[in-house]
Amino acid sequence: MNKIYTYCMALLVMLSFSCSSEDKAAIEIPTPPNSSTVDLSGRVVDENGNAVAGAQVTSGDRTATSGASGSFTIQATVSNDRGFVRVSKAGYFESFRGFQKASETGYIEVVLAAKATSVVFESSTGASLTNHGGTVDIPANGLKNEQSGVDYSGQVTADVRFFSPDDEGFATLMQGGDFIGINQSGQTGSLKSYGFFAVELYAGNGDRLNLKDGVTATVRFDIAPSQQISAPVNMPLWHFDEQQGIWKEDGAATKIGLQYQGAVSHFSYWNFDILYPNGTLKGKVVCYPDQTPYAHQRITISNGPQQLYTYTNWNGEFQVDYPAGFAVEVIAEGTFYGQSFDVPPLVAGQLYEMAVHSPYCETNSSFTFSGANYPAFGFAYASGTCSGNINVELNTFTPGSAIHFIISNMPTASSGTFAFGNYADGNYCELLGDFQLGTQHYGTSLGGTLTKTGPYSFTFSCLMKEGLNGSNETYTVTGSGTYYQE
């Protein structure tokens, strides 16, 4: 059934939040009856990819703690095939990561955003909190104790951080992770973010503070340079519902110059976003040639309005929602040959199950040239020049640059030592080596051998000259590995 329709049917009534009166205009999502659990494992890291130990991971009424490597396991609650975890650690903003249930197991990675230097001010004077192109104006005498609701007077410690779509790693820091939101009409979809921010306020005794009922704070945020042309004049505001793990539309901001300006009635994560109807992509990645699952690896969805990330589970399976109407590229990160595949535009609510994808997942060879070592993936293909012969390419799959070593006319024997020929002689059906380093080519000269150590394994050492017709300067290239042959 159409996913948006399913959510709409689940919205039995528009209710106010029970947590505080400032949320009366928001939308309550009833707990759906279609609930289950998933054995979820994952890893908590900081913005530099370093493991974060001792982080508390919560799903429903279950908790776990990340170990020395940042890893954790938890039985996570899932409703309508979607769940989320809440991750907290002193010195970081809380993080919420959503995921979709592809099978009985799941895997995620959670990136914690570090807090900047805290700002201290008196509640009686208020403050303008600035960070990374954004400002939040806290009104004087406008705060209360979040739990008791009692008006607060005294010293305030504030942590604030703004996140721009042009920031590196923005999508990994976006709360929810899967960019799912629900608007004021009860429609769910995928968000395109124009930036989000977090504000946390604390009393002198450590209690959380928030805005009083009926009080608002003005927010101004610089529009990211990459979005200044496309940024609409009127922008919906969304707050992150920490109980439901989803973004909810709550107010609007206006474009004034190269900034968005709006007002918020309480503090949590807030977002400037456009909502798109979405579809669902379900897939599986296994490694060529042995079909082992490509487990616990990141999948990137690009070319849509917003870059998205998801992760494969133990079986190499993944499932993710993304905006309908966009042809996207799906990249199995960390793989080599055949790492990306294209998905046609989806219609709203469509479930697209892609064929099993089988890239080369790991290096199996390497070679060294002029002191630099290049891990590579070796694979064989039929020679287009010499009938019955095969060539073996050791490809580094270096983004933006061609770096590979080709062994032409690889011996088919399982053992033995064979001499390389001279590329300059023009006999292209003998054993030759061709090294490409960007725009530079090197060909084997006389001297050097290749030893077969098995049917599909080898070692070699050869002399090469720049320019396939040879030059005066000679380089030594050594290497070893295995290759796949269909």
The 10s digit of each residue's pLDDT in 262-282 is 999 999 899 999 999 999 999
Residue 3 has pLDDT above 60, yes or no: no
What's the Cα-to-Cα distance from 391 to each of 165, 336, 387, 433, 477, rounded to whole Å?
45, 18, 11, 10, 18
What is the side-by-side order of every strand in the sheet holding 278-284?
317-323, 278-284, 351-353
Residues 6+ apart with CB under 8 A from 360: 287, 288, 335, 336, 337, 338, 339, 377, 379, 484
Q: Kindly report which listed range (73-87, 126-140, 333-347) carries the lowest average pLDDT score.
A: 333-347
Q: Kindly report which listed range (17-26, 112-121, 410-419) carries the lowest average pLDDT score.
A: 17-26
Class of domain 119-276: mainly beta
In this structure, what token pair is assigned to residue 416?
Answer: 């033995």
pLDDT at residue 89, rounded to an integer = 97
pLDDT at residue 478, rounded to an integer = 96
Q: End-to-end distance of the chain based on CA atoms, in angstroms?
A: 41
What's the Cα-to-Cα distance from 395 to each of 12, 55, 248, rounded to whole Å?
56, 40, 47
pLDDT at residue 385, rounded to an integer = 84
CA–CA separation, 354 vs 302, rounded Å? 16
CB count within 10 Å of CB 126 equals 17
In this structure, what token pair is assigned to residue 354?
Answer: 């892609």
Contact 348, 324 (CB under 8 A): yes
pLDDT in tens, 211-263: 999 999 999 999 999 999 999 999 999 999 999 999 999 999 999 999 999 99
Contact 160, 136 (CB under 8 A): yes
pLDDT at residue 471, rounded to an integer = 56
pLDDT at residue 337, rounded to an integer = 62
CB count within 10 Å of CB 242 equals 15
pLDDT at residue 486, rounded to an integer = 64
pLDDT at residue 184, rounded to an integer = 96
In this structure, what token pair is assigned to residue 307?
Answer: 């870059």
Instruction: Please state, rounded to an integer, the average pLDDT across all residues of the chain.
Output: 89
What's the Cα-to-Cα distance from 259 to each of 130, 135, 164, 173, 239, rounded to whole Å?
14, 10, 12, 21, 19
Residue 358 has pLDDT above 90, yes or no: no
Buried b (16+ CB within 10 A) or exposed e, 74-103: bebbbbbbbbbbbbebeebbbbbbbbbbbe
Confidence band, pLDDT 50/70/90 cuts, at residue 451: very high
* Mean pLDDT (whole number) for 326-341: 83
* Mean pLDDT (whole number) for 172-183: 96
Angle, CA of 105, 80 and 104, to the nearest 5°: 15
Q: Which position has the higher pLDDT, 441 or 156?
A: 156
Give the 3-state DSSP-derived string for the chain, with helices as H, strands as E and coil as C.
CCHHHHHHHHCCCCCCCCCCHHHCCCCCCCCCCCEEEEEEEEEEECCCCCECCCCEEEECCEEEECCCCCEEEEEEEEECCEEEEEEECCCECCEEEEEECCCCEEEEEEECCECCCCEEEECCCCEEEEECCEEEEECCCCEEECCCCCECCCEEEEEEEEECCCCCCHHHHCCECCCEEECCCCCEEEEEEEEEEEEEEECCCCCEEEECCCCCEEEEEECCHHHCCCCCCEEEEEEEECCCCEEEEEEEEEEECCEEEEEECCCCEEEEEEEECEEEEEEEEEEECCCEECCCCEEEEECCCCCEEEECCCCCEEEEEEECCCCEEEEECCCCCCCEEEECCCCCCCEEECCCECCECCCCEEEEECCEEEEEEEEEEECCCCCCCEEEEEECCCCCCCEEEEEECCCCCCCEEEECCCHHHCCCCCCEEEEEECCEEEEEEEEEEEEEEECCEEEEEEEEEECCCCCCCEEEEEEEEECECC
The domain spans of the chain are: 119-276, 284-353, 365-482
Q: What is the CA radius of gyration of the chain?
A: 28
Confidence band, pLDDT 50/70/90 cuts, at residue 33: low
Q: Kindly report which listed range (82-96, 240-254, 397-411) carries the lowest average pLDDT score.
A: 397-411
Contact 360, 379 (CB under 8 A): yes
pTM above 0.85, yes or no: no
